[in-house]
Amino acid sequence: MSVIKVAILGFGTVGEGVYRTIHSHQEELTAVLGKEVEVAAILIKNKNKEREISNAILVTDSFDEILQLPQLDVVVEAIVGKEPAVSYLKKAINSGCHIITANKEMFAHHGKELLKLAEDNNVSVGFEATVAGGIPVIQTLRQLLKINRVHQIQGILNGTSNFILTEMREKKQSFTEALLLAQENGFAEADPTNDVEGFDAFYKTMILSRIAFGEEPNWKDVELEGITTITSELIETAEKLGLRFKHIASISKEGSQINAIIKPTLVDKSHPFYHVEGVQNAVNIQSDIVGGITLQGPGAGMFPTASAVIEDLVFVCQNDTNNKISRPVANSFGEKKTELKEYWLVHGLTKKYLNTTVSFIQDVSDETYIINGTKNNVEQIFSLHKPLCYFPIIGEFKTLINA
């Protein structure tokens, strides 16, 4: 029986998880692929670290040495940052290897060119692990997009932020205390900027946009806000209203325009994200035939992420060169609709600054109240009165207010 030879770049949380899963699930992989999967080489940075790796495997800090192996079919990339990851993957593609990556920062920046290069070289690209860890959101989208038209995706895409918001609400902790706990539990890095300022969710949203709509919005036009503005007081206020803060990435297409917003958002009990707690991730996909689908699960960690990579391994080996979504994604999604009015929780603005474009709905506490208006109306008021906070409320909140 012939063998599929794999190189793993990186032997940290993800790389080691992939290595161990290939061994623990060899029987299943062989049954599905009709060939054994063999880890032929592992790339690391620090050759002095102790690692539990079989002596039969080439462990090296030289990628060129890996490329010189007599047979190499798939390169799995699980290192950190844009470089040297993207250069290694380009070399791998040019050498005829399928590639799989877990590296969202690199893929958000270079995914388009890697997909094109792979297409030109008749190899496949797997990137399931770049978005929402173990949740099979990319494969679900690929499958749905064969016939459905996806018009909106919302996601809780950063487990660290969701963990911090959950701790702040459940244990009445401050942002700093909850962040420290996240770091102690290994859910947040020593430098948590990428997570708490929303960049990690931003990269994932751009990857989702490319697969769902075939393109990305202009990065500069994306409204991006992390969770650092959320205080214990705001969380308590929201709770009294039956609402919870979630860091939500929302991406939609209307007409030919893609809108992306990544910011703290209030959800009520009717919304599928209300009960998504701790390090969990969730993705809600709205499409024309099936309606709404919500996927929820672990967004990170050794084995959830390895699961996504292994699913990709099967995908790239079976599909061979299927980089593209099977049909072209529609360029235009119906007419651009008139902007809908939404509910907003507003904090830190004296009521007298509101104008007639929005309706005042309810006082919540001092300088905190609920208004109703379009996003445009609200943004205009707040552009004149910074720094203030306003958060969209999603779900069936209207019925709660009127009850």
Looking at the annotation, which residues are catalytic? 204
- For ligand NAP, the nearest residue by Cβ is 12
Return the range that interacts with ligand NAP (CB under 6 A); candidates 45-53, 229-237, 273-281, 353-361: 45-53
CA angle (361, 237, 353) in 5-degree steps: 45
Shortest separation between residue 130's beta carbon and ligand NAP, angstroms: 6
Task: Name which position in 2, 27, 49, 184 contacts ligand NAP (CB under 6 A).
Answer: 49
| Residue 92 in contact with ligand NAP, rule: CB under 6 A | no
Shortest separation between residue 199's beta carbon and ligand NAP, angstroms: 11
Task: Name which position in 196, 300, 317, 378 contacts ligand NAP (CB under 6 A).
Answer: 300
Return the range that interacts with ligand NAP (CB under 6 A); candidates 8-16, 30-38, 180-188, 269-277: 8-16
Shortest separation between residue 171's beta carbon and ligand NAP, angstroms: 24
Task: Name which position in 111, 133, 217, 392 contacts ligand NAP (CB under 6 A).
Answer: 133
| Residue 102 in contact with ligand NAP, rule: CB under 6 A | yes
Q: Which is nearer to ligand NAP, 45 or 336 (CB)?
A: 45
Task: Name which position in 7, 8, 14, 168 contacts ligand NAP (CB under 6 A).
Answer: 14
Task: Name which position in 2, 46, 376, 402 contacts ligand NAP (CB under 6 A).
Answer: 46
| Residue 134 in contact with ligand NAP, rule: CB under 6 A | no
Q: Which is nearer to ligand NAP, 101 or 287 (CB)?
A: 101
Shortest separation between residue 97's beta carbon and ligand NAP, angstroms: 17
Q: Rule CB under 6 A: which residues touch ligand NAP? A: 10-15, 43-46, 49, 78-80, 84, 102-104, 129, 133, 300-301, 305
